[in-house]
Amino acid sequence: MPRLTVKVTPNARQTEILGPVEIANSETALAIKLKAPPVDGKANAALVAFLAKALGVPKSQVTLVRGKTNRVKLLEIEGVTVQQLAALG
């Protein structure tokens, strides 16, 4: 199953994809601004919904694997190709 690393900025004016950014040890992540606040899992839920819509898959196929309370998150997305993920950013 393809995995996607994202760096989230909550409380933004609008939800949008900014593009790839370097995070650590030459690793890259997809930078995403989220309108949702980082309370009670709202930002995580908004991230899952946003990525599902952007990739054309149900929300149930987007799983947060790591980073529930961190800005850098790892997600597994079922039913998409690595090329589709790369096209996001």
Backbone angles phi, psi at 15, to 5 degrees: -85, 125
Segment (H or E) for 10: none
Domains and CATH numbers, the chain: 3-88 (3.30.1200.10)
- pLDDT category at 13 given cuts 50, 70, 90 is very high
| Separation of alpha carbons 62 and 79, rounded Å | 9
Kindly tell me if the per-residue pLDDT of 72 is higher than 90: yes
pLDDT at residue 43, rounded to an integer: 97
Kindly tell me if the per-residue pLDDT of 89 is higher than 90: no
Q: Supply the mean pLDDT for the chain.
A: 96
Q: What is the pTM of this model?
A: 0.94
